[in-house]
Amino acid sequence: MRITHDNDNPIAQRGRRLRSLRFAPTLITLGNLVCGFAAIHFAMRAMYELGVGIPPDVVPSVPPRLLERMLPSTLSVGAGLVLLGMVFDMFDGLVARVTRSTTNFGGQLDSLADVVSFGVAPAALMVAFMSRQLAADAIIPSPISDHVWGRFTWVCAAVYVAMTAVRLARFNVEHAEDGFDHRTFRGLPSPGGAAIVVALVLFQDQIGNLGKEILGYAMPVVALCTALLMVSRVPYKRFHRAYVVGRKPFEQVVAFAVLFAVFWSYKSPTLLCIVMWYGASGPVSYVALRFRDRRRAQREGAASAPDASVGRGA
C-alpha cells in the first residue's frame, strides 16, 4: 500500500501557495497608501516651486524622461500617482478573494489608505494648482489665504476630504449589513470622485492660460459637487462589472476599441470626458428612473380610475 504525503497532493500544495500569498493584499493596499503619500509630496513640491519663484512652465525633469510627455509638470506627476493608487485599490480586493484572505483588518486598512489617496491627495493637488493660478492676483505670497476664491477653494478642499472619510465609513458599515447590494454603489465611490479631481489637474497642462483661468474657477465647484455626490444616496454602477468584466455585446467591444484609440492620442481630454460622464451618470440615471416611475404610476392610476360616465342616466 502506497502512503500519500501532503507534498504529493496538488490540492494541499495549492492551499500552501495561497496561504503564502495572503500577505499580498496588504502589500498592495500599502502600495495604494504610498501612492497617496507621494502625490501629497508632489503637491507640496509644486507649492515650493511657487514659493521660490520657479515659473509654472519650467518644471524640473522627472525621471524617467519617457514620462515627461504624459506627465509634463509636478502636479501631473502627483495626479498620475493617484491614478496608480486606483490600480492598486482595484487589485487588492481581487487578490484577497483569490488568496482567500479577505479579513476585516484588510477592509479597514483599505479604507484608511483610500482616505489618503482619494481624499487628502486630490485635495492637496487642487490647492496647489489654485495657489499657482491665484499667485498673480495675490499681493503677498499666500494666495489661498489672502484671496476670496482661494479661501473658497480651501473650504471646498476641506469639505471634499471630510466627505471622502464619511463616504468610506458609511460604506464599511453598510457593507457589513445583511442584504447589501454588491451590484451598485450608494453614492459616488471615492476613487471616482478622486478621478474627477485629478483628471482636471492633468487637463490643465494641456490648455492655455485662458483655459487655466476658467478651470481655476470651475475646479473648486466641481470638487464640492463631487463631495456631495459621494455622500448622497444616488446609485452608481460598479464600473468594472458593468463595462469590463463578463461577456459584452460586440458593439460595446468595438466602442471600447475606438475609445482606447482616442485615449492613446488624446489622453487627458479623453480621461476627463470619461470620469465626468461617470460622475454625471448617477444623477442622470436617478432622475430618469424617478421620472419613469412617476409616469408609470400616473398611467396605472388613470387605467384603474372608474369611468365617470358609468352610472349616469341617458
pLDDT at 178: 61
CB atoms within 10 A of CB 220: 22
Up-side HSE of residue 236: CA atoms within 13 Å toward CB? 25
pLDDT at 181: 64
Q: How far is the C-alpha of 227 from the C-alpha of 154, rounded, in Å?
A: 14
Spans of all domains in the chain = 13-294
**129 Cβ contact partners less than 8 Å away, ≥ 6 residues apart:** 46, 75, 201, 204, 216, 219
For β-strands 235-237 and 184-186, DSSP reports them as: antiparallel
Nearest Cα to Cα of residue 81 among 53, 136, 44, 135: 44
**270 Cβ contact partners less than 8 Å away, ≥ 6 residues apart:** 259, 262, 263
Nearest Cα to Cα of residue 229 among 196, 198, 200, 201: 196
Q: Which stretches of the chain are assigned E, i.e. beta strand?
A: 184-186, 235-237
143-199 pLDDT tens trace: 555 678 888 899 999 999 999 999 999 988 887 666 666 667 888 999 999 999 999
pLDDT at 254: 79
The three grid cell numbers given for residue 258, joined into one nine-digit string: 475606438
Residues in the chain where the model's pLDDT stays below 50: 1-3, 18, 60-61, 66, 137-141, 308, 311-314
pLDDT at 57: 52
pTM (2 d.p.): 0.80
Q: How far is the C-alpha of 253 from the C-alpha of 249, rounded, in Å?
A: 7
pLDDT at 305: 62
Q: Which residue has the cell 349616469?
A: 312
**CB-based burial of residue 172 (10 Å sphere; 0-12 exposed, 13-18 middle, 19+ buried)?**
middle
CATH number 1.20.120.1760 is the correct assignment for the domain at 13-294: yes
The CA-atom distances, in angstroms, between 257 and each of 130, 174, 202, 260, 265 are: 35, 36, 23, 5, 13
CB–CB of 16/96 below 8 Å? no
